[in-house]
Amino acid sequence: MCGIFGYVNFLVDKNRGEIVDTLIEGLQRLEYRGYDSAGFAVDGKLFNDGDNGEIMSNIIVKCPGKVKVLRQKVADDKIDRSDVFDNHAGIAHTRWATHGQPKEQNCHPHRSDAAKGEFIVVHNGIITNFAALREYLLSKGHQFESETDTECIAKLFKHFYDLNLKAGVSPDFNELTKQVLHELEGSYGLLVKSFHYPGEVCGTRKGSPLLVGVKTDRKLKVDFVDVEFENNASAAVAQQQIGQTLSSLNGPNGATAQDLGFIPVAPGEQNLRTSQSRAFLSEDDLPTPVEFFLSSDPASVVQHTKKVLFLEDDDIAHIYDGELHIHRASTKSAGESTVRPIQTLEMELNEIMKGPFKHFMQKEIFEQPDSTFNTMRGRIDFENNTVTLGGLKAWLPTIRRCRRIIMIACGTSYHSCLATRSIFEELTEIPVSVELASDFLDRRSPVFRDDTCVFVSQSGETADSILALQYCLERGALTVGIVNSVGSSMSRQTHCGVHINAGPEIGVASTKAYTSQYIALVMFALSLSNDSISRAGRHEEIIQGLQKIPDQIKQVLKLEDKIKKLCNDDLNDQKSLLLLGRGYQFATALEGALKIKEISYMHSEGVLAGELKHGVLALVDDKLPIIAFATRDSLFPKTMSAIEQVTARDGRPIVVCNEGDAIISNDKVHTTLEVPQTVDCLQGLLNVIPVQLISYWLAVNRGIDVDFPRNLAKSVTVE
Ligand code: UD1
Ligand code: BG6
């Protein structure tokens, strides 16, 4: 969804062209998340403003469409590339429309005022009280240029800046940011720049990810940044006083700061830059060249640096004079961390490149032998048939005692929960329910302190799942994450969890995350039932089965040519497709149907084979394409009976079956797609691969941009 990228250079000479290129490349790395417009802001030329003396103008370039359209606009507008800056802050954004259509006026960045563009903002998330803020700001004479909620933020910066000045205060950028944040409700990840603070940027987040990458030759004294809590009494007074101005939104007379007796604070008092941070002090105290990359996604930072710091909700990252400071608007509360670690990203640049593949989705489908192996790497001892999940080990006794397990997720991640629910119940004997996050919240489902709530998510940023997580945390449940993105909100907010280690997934249609989530959940179930001697045989069978999965996936991938031909010859022109499965394969049918809908735009439906006769059979004739999953497990005879119900109505299903399994006479099926046999609870890992490939080739044949299907986003960060 929306993406943020910012770049600050200090004592590293860059011309405007290089800065613009860096910002646009950053946006390109965010493209996979889904968006409909893009834009950036950089410094223009110095000019004499009269009031403010010599100030810097802005260049804002933005447009609906892809980043390549933005790049073309830069060329068409003949943006001067030549001016060199030894310190500069640039901000950029990809937008996924929420308030207002994708048209130029609504694209980010947004500015506080058309005249000078004093404050410029890019923002992810939604400001829920924007209507009240807009009304208030309009009443104070601000003029809006867009329909967005974001524009309020830019205007609030100017509003407070002017109020401070009137009160004789020259606020520090981070103090001003605190004053603005005080008024915002909703979720945000945002960056702000201003000619009042040349070369500086403030970044902050609440419920929307933001990280800071640091590139410097300087050896950092420590691998963390100290958090600077609110301790400036004067600033607190100012903030409180100005805060009252907007609190008066709901007040009787719309009183102003002056009306409320705003207490001026001595000029310069708040401008003291208290440096509690140790990480960014050079050994000799001399300024050192450094570059900062701010982003909502590590994928856009990794090409520049692997040293990153993930911001927490309500952190304000203030970058100036080559230093990174983390501020908080509140005083320190008990147990609150006083540092933010600088971590090393394990992601490699080639992991986010397409390599020889045409699309990320195709690459990710073919990566599954490796990604599934990586999920198990270092966690399963295949000789002794044991599983050790480092992130869960200490929590297992508590989880074993829980009253029930609730798995909560959206989309494909929800299907991985469905696929593994049965093995969870079998191995743990704990009741397991599987919930779609949005429905779980809509129902305000009861949650208790002795529940274990498992959140499954590729991105770790899906808004519905995060809200459900917060709901469960508030009710005192134990929360476990099964997450791909290290450092994501869900990974950090859960009590414990498992990183699935599938590597970055860029294609909007999730493929390798599904198989890795599936394996992580099976490993979780195995570790929960480790104590039980009576289950040793079943454990061994599953663990030995898991060991073979990567190679068996390689086998299944060899079906690609047959699937390509099937799509070309028989499926391309179809309007609808049914997928039939039961037991373990119901989840495969649902996941296959979702993949086909998502990227080929063909209507498809996953049907529980046992339910066929209760309605869906009415659709069956000799034309409707049907894919049936008939691999060997205890429900195989029942699946066969469903297939016979189809063939008796002249349906000719495509059957996914085990190798060499001549189960149905050839004239009754359209074709078979043979996959190796594995343990019943793992068979879905192999059966899903042919449908991933079918959805991919259907989409390619239909000329659809597979990695960017219409109306969809990789990470849905709004409710
Ligand atoms: C960890 C390291 C891995 C290292 C291994 C060696 C990380 C991210 N992983 O892997 O690089 O090779 O030790 O011992 O540093 N967590 C959550 N919620 C989630 C996911 C994870 O709270 O959704 C927590 C876990 O409880 C754990 C930590 O994050 O405390 C790391 O989890 P994970 O990467 O799965 O742990 P290991 O496999 O032990
Ligand atoms: C979006 C994606 O809808 O979110 C799906 O397009 C994905 O592919 C779903 O399954 C859930 O995302 P996540 O990141 O929570 O697994």
Task: Return the structure tokens found at 127.
Answer: 């400001």
Alpha-carbon distance of 486 to 499, in angstroms, equals 7
Q: Which contiguous run of DSSP H or E holds residue 481? A: strand 478-483
| Residues in CB range of 672: below 8 A, 6 or more apart | 654, 655, 656, 657, 664
Would you call the peptide bond into 109 cis, given omega within 30 degrees of 0 as the criterion?
A: yes
d(CA 709, CA 693): 16
Calculate how far, in angstroms, residue 715's C-alpha sits from the geometric centre of ligand 2: 6
Q: What is the atom index within ligand 1 of the atom nearest the CA of 390? A: 39
Q: Among candidates 454, 447, 450, which has minimal Cα distance to 414?
A: 454
The residue whose CA has the least distance to atom 5 of ligand 1 is 390
- pLDDT at residue 283 in the model: 64
The number of C-alpha atoms within 13 Å of 154 and in the hemisphere containing its C-beta is 26
How many angstroms is it from 348 CA to the middle of ligand 1? 18
Helix (H, G, I), strand (E, B) or coil at 491: helix
In 49-83, the DSSP E strands lie at: 54-64
Pocket test for ligand 2, best of 297, 716, 717 (most atoms within 8 A of CB): 716
Compute the distance from residue 506 Cα to the ligand 1 centre, in Å: 22
Collapsing DSSP to helix, strand or coil, 219 comes out as coil
Ligand nearest to the CA of 502: 1
Q: Are 386 and 530 in contact (CB under 8 A)?
A: yes
Rounded to 5 degrees, what angle do the CA atoms 572, 577, 582 make? 140
What is the phi-psi region of residue 703: left when phi exceeds 0, alpha when psi lies from -120 to 50, beta otherwise?
left
> What is the CA 703 to chain-centroid distance, rounded?
27
Residue 408 β-bridge partners: 435, 455
Q: Which stretches within 220-376 are classed as H helix?
A: 233-247, 360-366, 368-376
d(Cα 692, Cα 683) in Å, to the nearest integer? 15
Residue 290: closest CA among 87, 43, 91: 87
Say which ligand is closest to the CA of 511: 2
Mutate to test the pocket of ligand 1, among 495, 499, 500 (most ligand atoms within 8 A of CB): 499
The pTM of this model reads: 0.77
Q: What superfamily does domain 355-557 belong to in CATH?
A: Glucose-6-phosphate isomerase like protein; domain 1 (3.40.50.10490)
User: Catalytic: which of 2, 107, 202, 453?
Assistant: 2
What is the topology classification, in CATH, of domain 558-711? Rossmann fold (3.40.50)
- At residue 252, the pLDDT reads 30
Show the tokens assigned to 116: 């000078």
Q: Phi then psi for 506, rounded to 5 degrees?
A: -105, -40
Report the pLDDT value the prediction gives residue 666, as an integer from 0 to 100: 66
Give residue 128's pLDDT.
84
> Tokens for 298?
């590590």
Q: 709: CA distance to ligand 2 center in Å?
A: 13
State residue 101's pLDDT score.
78
Q: Which of 308, 348, 498 to mutate to test the pocket of ligand 1 (most atoms within 8 A of CB)?
A: 498
Convert 132-164 into a string of H (helix), E (strand) and C (coil). Answer: HHHHHHHHCCCCCCCCCCHHHHHHHHHHHHHHH
Q: How far is Cα 497 from Cα 395, in angstroms, rounded to an integer?
A: 9
Output the pLDDT for position 244: 46
Nearest CA to ligand 2 atom 6: 714
Which ligand is in closest contact with the Cα of 343?
1
Asked if 49 contacts 331 with a C-beta cutoff of 8 angstroms, the reply is: no
Residue minimizing CA distance to atom 37 of ligand 1? 390
Beta-bridge partner residues of 10: 87, 290
Distance CA 88, CA 643 (A): 66
Q: In 171-322, which ranges are E strands? A: 188-194, 201-206, 211-216, 224-228, 290-295, 307-310, 315-320
**To which H or E segment does residue 121 belong?**
strand 119-124
Output phi, psi for 62, to 5 deg: -155, 155
Question: Which residue's C-alpha comes closest to atom 1 of ligand 1?
Answer: 390
Give every residue of the chain whose pLDDT is below 50, as ranges. Answer: 233-237, 243-245, 247-276
DSSP secondary structure letters along 402-441: -SEEEEEE-HHHHHHHHHHHHHHHHHH---EEEEEHHHHH
> What is the model's pLDDT at position 270?
39
How much is the pLDDT for 716? Answer: 77
Nearest to 444 by CA among 415, 405, 416, 470: 470
Going from the Cα of 461 to the center of ligand 2, the distance in angstroms, rounded, reads 9
Q: Compute the radius of gyration of the chain from its Cα atoms.
A: 28
Q: Is 54 exposed, middle or buried (0-12, 13-18, 19+ CB in 10 A)?
A: exposed
Is 2 among the residues known to form the active site? yes
Judge whether 310 and 340 are in contact, CB under 8 Å: yes
Q: Which residues line ligand 1 (CB under 6 A)?
A: 390-391, 481, 483, 486, 490-491, 494, 496-499
Q: Where in the chain is the domain with CATH 3.40.50.10490?
A: 355-557, 558-711
Alpha carbon of 557 to ligand 2 centroid (Å): 24
User: Right CATH number for 3-231+267-349 from 3.40.50.300, 3.40.50.1970, 3.60.20.10, 3.40.605.10?
Assistant: 3.60.20.10
Domain with CATH 3.60.20.10 in the chain: 3-231+267-349
What is the rounded end-to-end Cα distance, in angstroms, of the chain?
12
Beta strands at 119-124 and 84-95: parallel, antiparallel or unpaired: unpaired
Q: What is the C-alpha separation between 708 and 506, in angstroms, rounded?
A: 10
Residues near ligand 2 (Cβ within 6 A): 410-413, 457-459, 462, 465, 508-510, 712, 714-716
